[in-house]
Each structure stands twice: as structure tokens, then as C-alpha cells.
Amino acid sequence: MIKDFSTLFVGQVHHDNLGFDGPAVMDRRYEDKDLAAPLQSAEQIAVLMDRLGFGTLWLAEHHFQREGYECIPNVLLLATHLASVTNQIKFGCGFNVLPTWHPLRLAEDYSMADNLTKGRVRLGVGRGYHSRELDAFRHPLASPEDARELFEEQVQLLLAALREKSFSHHGRFYQVPPKGATYRGQELNDLTLVPKPQFSTECWQPVVSASDRALDFMIDNGIKGFIGGGAASGGASEEIARRWQIKLAERGKETELGADLIFGFSFYLADTEQEAKKEGKLILEEYQKMFAPLGFAGAVTDDQLHRLANPLTAATAGMSNIDDAVSSGSWIVGPSERLIETFEELQQNFPGLEEVMVAQPVGAQPSTVLSQLERFGEEVLPHFVTKSSSSVEVES
């Protein structure tokens, strides 16, 4: 049963000239004040969502994006500030790009945020997909081919620090504490995170490849799954949800379908479906320009990518259109009645699902994000969530 709706804000600037006819992604440039503006947008969104009764504002971490698409390099710092100007809404890390962190620094920073906000920050981790930021922060012992192995070791060290009274770790990339280390004349065998989280050590991760290895790793480490979060296409996946449910059952945890998962959707509300598709078209096109080269817009050829990178040929790239996105279920558009009907059917099909993320893709202007969330909060949210029950329950 759906208990909460959340959204994702990736920290985009106000882009003029959206869509295939607009500037190429790598040709966009902005002044420093424009690149800082998304921080104020995030505050406006947080205050609005808090008033309307949304559960969580998820925020994306990315680095060095002078093109203005994802301009929040430190989600935990922003989330701690946003908690101070709101009353109830939670703030999700969607997601901390773990390879750009030392796991123990992330553990300390998350624990500080957990304590200072009294549990209103939700931890989420991902491997990242922008080579520019991954190369800049790359672990000195890791190559790009080591990405999966490095990430898994980082997750295990992070969660050990957060969840165990004291911890040590000796892997390929990290020796914590270093073998033979001493402190004040005594052999140093373990460390303790200070302070430890007092409210939650729950952790979320995007489900991207949905390989058995990835799902097994998540479940074995007590990580919950986000389908359609971040840059990934949205929509409900019954196949992934059933595999997830089976794997939980194999470990002795019987659940209803959809438990320990969040489904994410793109949406656009308008008086008619035709109007919603017209308004969403340019947003989808900007999203495709940004994310098709990164593998998040379906299978594309080199020729399509070449065409997409040039405003003169982008419209001839043969990308899927807004009708395709609606048909696939990744986008939900139209009047509020359409969205209510869709979510009522969703909770019938996935009775264990408790949270749904509804968002505007990265191409949307912040003003559009605000107006669409306000309309969703007034016309759709009250059919599923009351303000008194709009706080997500997290595990201590």
C-alpha cells in the first residue's frame, strides 16, 4: 500500500531553449551565480513539499557540471541545511557517488547529518556514471575495470562503520586500520565511528543492471532497491520485483510484492493528455541529449549519438518520443484522474510497495518542477497520503 510520495531534484539550472533544437549539452555554459542557483531552488522545493505533505526530497550528487544539469556536489551538507528550514520532510541521498568518497568520510558525514536532523536524512549510494567525476576522484589502486569490485568493498566498509560497534576491514583497496598500526603504544586492531547514527542506518541503491550479482549483493548487505531512480528510466518492473521478492524469501524474509523497493516515474500534469505530452516533449528531448550517451535512454547507435550531439541533426536521431515513454510506463501524463488511477492500480499489483517517487527529468526547469509538484500535491497526493502520515518510517 502506497504510504508516501517523494521526488528527485538533481540540481539543474534554468535552461533556455530546451529540446533537440536547443544547444548541445557540452556547449552550455553558465555564470557562477547561475550554477549556484539550484541550491536556492532546492530550498524552495523542500519548503513546498514540506507544506504539501510529501515524504522525501531525494537529491543527486554530482561534480564539475559547468553545463548546469546536476549542480549539487554535497547532498549531505545541503540536506542538513534544508532540514533546518522545514519541519517534517526527509531528504534522501539519491545517490552519494561512493567512488568519489572515502567510505569512512561518508560514514562520518552521514552520521553527523543523521544526528543533527534527528533522522531526517536517508542514505543512498551508487557507483556513478560520469567519467569526468570518477576519473577526477579515482582511487589510486583502482582502474575503471575495477569499478564493481571497488564499489562493493566501499559499501561493506561504509556499512560496517555505521552498523557495527567497532570495525576493521582488510580488502584489496582498503586496510582499516593498517596492519601493524599502533596508537599510544598499543596495537590498533579496530576503529569506532564517533558519533554513530542514532536514528537510521537504512541504505538505498539504484537498481540498474538488475543482475543476480547486484541484487544478491544488495540484499545480503541489507540495502533496499530504487527502480527508476537517478538517471535511469522510470516505471514499475514486475520482473525485477518478483526476483527481488524471491531472493528475500530465500534468505528467510517473506514479503509482499514490492516490499523494500521504491518505484520512480516521470510525470507531467495538465488538463488533457495531449497538453501534457506537448509540455513534456521538450523535457524528454533534453533528457535524451544528456543521458543517451551515458546509456540511460535505451539502446542507441553511434550514428544516433552523433546526430543527437548536434542541434541541426538531433531531431533526425530517431530517438523514442513522448508517446513511447508513456506507452512504456516510464512517464505518466495527463489530468490528475489519470495519475490517481495509475497509482491505485500500482498499489493493487504491488501490495508491498510503500513509496513512489514522482519527478521531472533533468531537462525540466526548476519553475516547472515547483509548479508540477504543487499541482501533484494538491490534486493527487491527498488521495493516498494524509499529512499526519506522510513521514517515511525508517529502520533504526
In sequence order, which residues have a C-beta less than 8 Å from that of residue 396 and are 6 or more positions away?
Answer: 199, 200, 201
For residue 332, tell me if it sits in a domain. yes
Mean pLDDT (whole number) for 144-164 = 97
Count of domains in the chain?
Answer: 1
Residue 200 half-sphere exposure toward CB, CA atoms < 13 A: 23
For every residue of 79-106, DSSP letters joined together read HHHHHHT-SS-EEEES-EEGGGS-HHHH
Place 372 in a pLDDT band, splitting at 50, 70 and 90: very high
- Residue 56, SS3 per DSSP: strand
Residue 233 scores a pLDDT above 90: no
* Cα 324 to chain centroid, rounded: 23
* Cα 361 to chain centroid, rounded: 12
- How far apart CA 251 and CA 210 sit, in angstroms, is 18
Cβ atoms 24, 360 nearer than 8 A: no
Residue 306 scores a pLDDT above 60: yes
Place 166 in a pLDDT band, splitting at 50, 70 and 90: very high
At position 118, the amino acid (one-letter code) is K
Residue 393 scores a pLDDT above 90: no
Taking CA atoms, 270 is separated from 180, 226, 275, 277, 282, in Å, by 65, 27, 6, 9, 15
For residue 309, tell me if it sits in a domain. yes
For residue 394, tell me if it sits in a domain. no
Q: Residue 126's CB: how many other CB atoms inside 10 A?
A: 24
For residue 79, tell me if it sits in a domain. yes
- Predicted confidence at residue 146, as pLDDT, reads 95
Cβ atoms 267, 377 nearer than 8 A: no
Max CA distance (Å), the chain: 73
Q: What is the pLDDT of residues 7-66, one digit of tens each?
A: 999 999 999 999 999 999 999 999 999 999 999 999 999 999 999 999 999 999 999 999
For residue 395, tell me if it sits in a domain. no
CATH of the domain at 107: 3.20.20.30
Q: What is the pLDDT of residues 320-342, one digit of tens each?
A: 999 999 999 999 999 999 999 99
pTM: 0.96
In the chain, pLDDT over 90 holds for what percent of residues? 93
| Residue 12 structural domain | 4-389
Q: Which residue has the higher pLDDT, 237 or 273?
A: 273
Cβ atoms 54, 376 nearer than 8 A: no
- Predicted confidence at residue 386, as pLDDT, reads 83
Cβ atoms 263, 240 nearer than 8 A: no
- Predicted confidence at residue 298, as pLDDT, reads 86
In sequence order, which residues have a C-beta less than 8 Å from that of residue 78 and are 6 or more positions away?
Answer: 39, 42, 59, 72, 91
Backbone phi and psi for residue 329, each to the nearest 5 degrees, phi listed first? 90, 0
- How far apart CA 117 and CA 224 sit, in angstroms, is 22
For residue 86, tell me if it sits in a domain. yes
Q: What is the pLDDT of residues 82-133, one digit of tens each?
A: 999 999 999 999 999 999 999 999 999 999 999 999 999 999 999 999 999 9
Place 391 in a pLDDT band, splitting at 50, 70 and 90: very low
For residue 306, tell me if it sits in a domain. yes
Q: Residue 299's CB: how many other CB atoms inside 10 A?
A: 7
Q: Which residue has the higher pLDDT, 235 or 282?
A: 282
CA-based nearest residue to 15, from 285, 240, 239: 285
- Predicted confidence at residue 388, as pLDDT, reads 56
Place 395 in a pLDDT band, splitting at 50, 70 and 90: very low
In the chain, pLDDT over 70 holds for what percent of residues? 96
Q: What is the pLDDT of residues 196-224, one digit of tens each?
A: 999 999 999 999 989 999 999 999 999 99
Element (H, E) at 48: helix 32-52
Mean pLDDT (whole number) for 168-180 = 97
The cell for 198 is 542514532
- Predicted confidence at residue 394, as pLDDT, reads 41
Place 229 in a pLDDT band, splitting at 50, 70 and 90: low
- Predicted confidence at residue 230, as pLDDT, reads 56
Cβ atoms 32, 15 nearer than 8 A: no
Residue 224 half-sphere exposure toward CB, CA atoms < 13 A: 20
The alpha carbons of the chain give a radius of gyration, in whole angstroms, of: 21
For residue 396, tell me if it sits in a domain. no
Tell me 179's DSSP state: T
The cell for 396 is 533504526
- Predicted confidence at residue 168, as pLDDT, reads 98
Mean pLDDT (whole number) for 66-87 = 98
